[in-house]
Structure 1
Amino acid sequence: MNNWLRKNPNVRSVRVAAADLNGQPRGKRIPTRFADKALEDGTRFPFSVLNLDIWGEDIEDSPLVMESGDKDGVLRATERGFMPMPWLEAPTALLPIWMYHDDGRPFAGDPRHALNTVLQRFKARGLTPVCAVELEFFLIDDSGRKLQVPPSPRSGKRRQAGDILSMRALDQFDTFFTELYDACEEMDIPADTAISEAGLGQFEINLMHCDDALRAADDAWLFKMLVKGLARKHGFAASFMAKPYPDYAGSGLHMHFSVLDADGNNVFDNGGPEGTDMLRHAVAGCMDAMAGCGLIFAPHANSYDRIVPDAHAPTSVCWAYENRTSSIRIPSGNPKARRIEHRVAGGDVNPYLMLTAVLGAAINGIEDGATPPAPITGNAYAANLPQIPGDWETAINMFESDPHVARIFAPELIRNLVMTKRQECRDMGELSREEQVEIYLETV
């Protein structure tokens, strides 16, 4: 038996799970005594399972379904290995997996393989991205017809306002956050600072930077799964949806990254506040691909409620030094930590696709030696700047046709995601906002 399972003999069952294009975990439950087989031989399920819509249904006319006989891929364990699932009552292990063809080729429609492909482009140049993400989410009482903040387990009262960086807001849910940090330790997720945010019952937790971007994406994917599962254990919901409350700020998933050379030096650091030419090349690449990758950063109908002016979410394609109204921000501080903050994505994204889009755009710019326009100053919302797609249909069409996107993502993944989103866009159009929120609350 696997060493981890041998050291944890209380584990009753194993889940094997991969991320589909929406970031939903798809997989199987396996009795512990058969876990070795899944580890050694892999498990099998149809390629089409990584390309379901947000309801978990097949994509109509997808070549992965009837046209191909809905054939199986083989899913093998990632390097992450087994880990606990602390939000479940029975002791359970999770084994993250990713999909291959029978001949060993990676399945191009698997979002984790998409990220790995981009990382190979960095590796070919002797470069290593160092990534960190900031995840915002809401704690929500969804037991009634109207969403509201859960009552504090300490006072029994509901805080009916946003409360930025409030110690009181954190203390009201201290038991939940204490258990969350303990669970992150168990799962080896590097959770760092927690703060309260501007929305009702909204919080943010930062994950520590990591020089393995696949692991950073794993951490974000697993963290979202953990937060949602643990909240239910505490009697309320947690959601990373972009905009659960129309009148309050939405949730983002901001990404910070720098790049190391073969000697471990930060290639964005020139010893001063402005950064290097390499930083500007990466910024230019990110700007060039930003509109085309809008579908990655805003993948759902509800995502576009967040991308509106003056709502703490970027709406334009621009960059700036130490300016949170811009879509790309260069933070101040120690030059050794000079980095790019990409601020466009909502909390509802698939972390694998989001990191692929950002890092893929950056390596495009580095490979091309691209030059960005001058950084902006002042309020980006008030400036006349190119815009990020503000509606779902435009974002889908741009993702399908944009040449910068075609350099980042495999044609198969582009096709699969476009078909998925067109089907969702059609079906979501028949629902009220309340019905849409009910779907997204649990899934994204």
Structure 2
Amino acid sequence: MTSPQSPSDFLHDNPQIKSIRMVASDLNGQARGKRVARRFAGKAIKDGTRFPYSVLNLDIWGEDIDDSPLVFEAGDPDGILKPTERGFVPVPWLDTPTAILPIWMFHEDGTPYMGDPRHALARVVDRYKARGLTPVVATELEFYIIDDRGRELRVPPSPRSGIRRQQAEILALRQLDAFDTFLTALYDACEAMDIPADTMISEAGPGQFEINMDHQPDAMKAADDAWLFKVLTRGLARSHGFAASFMAKPYPDYAGNGLHTHFSVLDHDGNNIFDNGGAEGSEALHHAIAGCLAAMPGSMLVFAPHATSYDRFVPGAHAPTAAAWAYENRTTALRIPAGNPAARRIEHRVAGGDINPYLFLAAVLGAALDGIEQGKPPAPAVTGSAYSADLPQLPLTWADAIKAFDTSDEIKRIFAPELRETFLATKRQELRYMAELSPEEQQELYLDTV
């Protein structure tokens, strides 16, 4: 993993950079920020910049939340946004030489604003550190490349052959070759942005791909990488003449987009606490599983945050519908992969590609730590298909997920009150206004935003 340059060193070493974007993630994972002229970047690096607190709590349309205490009731005050430890990253998809400076929000007295999703993950990571533990995290992101110029969404024609193949292409080299120019540019951009993109495959939908990120003992960087990868992929695709979307299910008849994470936990000596030398894993592994299962219903709003997120949860379509776990079984919400015991880990398979990576990893890792701290065993592992078993079902409507998030004791332990309240207000407003849109209008809204 490359050590980030200081912002001032980056600018000194990259005189070609003309434009600076100071950017933070809102609750929906949308990039909110300002364009700053290079000659004023030093002041922004030193002093930070200011946004209203409410900017991190906008709905998916970018509108204020009705009756939000952050807006008129409080006078819509500013927070201070300071550079994160990530430092500058280049923007390979724009013609103008540009760099993003990721930022996060603080109060005037320097304390973190806990309604910021990046601080939500930092809060969980700090809990691990207090116990001498370090989560090791990798993400897997699925996305579609889409020709959205016509009335219906279609896979773009191959730049190599001009052929448009509207069919599934699971692990097809032909599909990887067909879009080699774009995928090579995507890998080059990941390298420039220090995003550890590893293996890519073609997936079950037309024009669908999955990218695996390398495991790393830095959950915050893993979330940064996933968030920046989503921003990068959407921007780069447009520069190649088509759209890229992490929308949960762009096509009703093809596979949805998931965002899975694999994680283990190291102790202060660097030992994997999930490893007991055997295939079954340690007690700590089972306790973490129990914590993840207990928090899963309340976390569903994080894992499936949008109106169309629930289109993905179809039995038999590799999107789990029950809170269950198993060894080497992709029908369950939690899968324990086989392999070397030293690499024993949990694969969390519930979330869609349309999530906010900071909230997602906070929910998953926070739930696992809850389980480790409580020391309770999970329900027995599932054998066979989880879709046909009698298992506790997850909330599978947006309204039910909002209710579960609101009442969950696990969620109250994982997330600060400021974030719970603003996230609920955001989702309740979106639920109300989304009812006014047709399915086609919802698709158009989410295609580029999530």
TM bucket, shorter chain: over 0.9
Q: What per-residue deviation string (whole Å, max 9, x for no partner) do you get for residues 120-141 of structure 1?
A: 1111110000000000000000
Cα shift at 1:311:
1.2
Asked if residue 134 in structure 1 is aligned to residue 140 in structure 2, the reply is yes
Instruction: Report Cα offsets for 1:251-272 as digits up to 9, x if no partner.
Output: 0000000000000000001111
Counterparts of 1:60-209 in structure 2 under 5 Å? Answer: 60-209=66-215
Which of 270, 275, 282 is the aligned partner of 2:288? 282
Aligned partners of 2:426 and 2:360: how far apart in 1?
17
Instruction: Name the structure 1 match of 2:412.
Output: 406
Distance across 2 between alignment mates of 1:430 and 1:306? 21
Instruction: Give the Å deviation of 1:202.
Output: 0.4
Which one of 217, 228, 233 corresponds to residue 222 of structure 1? 228
Structure 1 runs of 4+ aligned residues shifted over 4 Å read none
Per the alignment, in what secondary structure is the counterpart of residue 122 of structure 1? Answer: helix
Match of 1:389 in 2: 395
Displacement, 1:38?
1.0
For 1:99 and 1:44, how far apart are their aligned partners in 2?
A: 9
Q: 1:271-309: CA deviations, max 9, x gaps?
A: 111100000010000000000000000000110000121
Does 1:247 find its partner at 2:247? no
Q: Distance in 2 between matches of 1:161 and 1:327?
A: 27
Cα distance in 2 between the residues matched to 1:288 and 1:73: 35
Shift of 1:80: 0.4
Instruction: Give the SS at the match of 2:298.
Output: coil
Question: What is the deviation of 1:362?
Answer: 0.4
Query: Which residue of structure 2 lines up, in the alignment, with residue 5 of structure 1?
Result: 11
Instruction: Using the TM superposition, give the Cα deviation of residue 221 of structure 1 relative to its aligned residue in structure 2, in angstroms.
Output: 0.2
**1:63-82 deviation line (CA, Å, top 9, x unaligned):** 11111100000000000001
Deviations 1:48-104 (A, max 9, x none): 000000000000011111111000000000000011000111100100000000001
- What amino acid is aligned across from residue 417 of structure 1 in structure 2? F
Would you say how many aligned residue pairs link Structure 1 and Structure 2?
Answer: 444
Note the 1:311-390 alignment, pairs <5 A.
311-390=317-396
Letter in 2 for 1:390: L
Cα distance in 2 for residues equivalent to 1:295 and 1:370? 25
Compute the displacement of 1:369 (Å).
0.6
Which amino acid in 2 is paired with 1:247?
D
The answer for the alignment partner of 2:34 in structure 1 is: 28
User: 2:263 maps to which residue?
Assistant: 257
Equivalent-residue separation in structure 2 for 1:429 and 1:331 (angstroms): 40
Aligned-pair CA distance for 1:4:
0.5
Paired with 1:73 and 1:371, the residues of 2 have a C-alpha distance of: 43
Rounded to whole Å, the distance in 2 between the matches of 1:73 and 1:217 is: 22
* Distance in 2, Cα, partners of 1:36 & 1:266: 42
Measure the CA separation in 2 of the matches of 1:77 and 1:387: 41
Q: CA deviation at 1:200?
A: 1.5
1:316-345 C-alpha deviation (Å, 9 max, x unpaired): 000000000000000000111100000000
Letter in 1 for 2:367: A
Counterpart CA distance in 2 for 1:51 and 1:77 is 19
The amino acid that maps onto 1:76 is: K
- Superposed, 1:231-246 pairs within 5 Å as 231-246=237-252
* Structure 2 equivalent of residue 430 of structure 1: 436
SS in structure 2 at match of 1:2: helix
The letter for the 1-side match of 2:323 is V
Which of 25, 46, 49 is residue 52 of structure 2 equivalent to? 46
Distance, in Å, in 2 between the alignment partners of 1:12 and 1:122 is 40
Structure 2 unpaired stretches of 5+: 1-6
- Pairwise CA distance, 1:161: 0.5
Distance in structure 2 (CA, Å) of the matches to 1:397 and 1:66: 26
Instruction: Measure, in 2, the Cα distance between the counterparts of 1:151 and 1:50.
Output: 37
Q: Deviations over 1:3-30 (max 9, x none)?
A: 1011110101100000000000101000
Give the partner amino acid of 2:332. S
Query: 2 CA distance for matches of 1:322 and 1:372?
Result: 17
Instruction: Give 3-state SS (helix, strand or coil) of 1:248's partner.
Output: coil
Deviations 1:343-376 (A, max 9, x none): 0000000000000000000011011112101100
2:3 is aligned to none
CA distance in 2, matches of 1:350, 1:221: 7
Measure the CA separation in 1 of the matches of 2:383 and 2:69: 48
SS in 2 for 1:304: helix
**CA–CA separation in structure 1 for the residues paired with 2:213 and 2:160:** 27
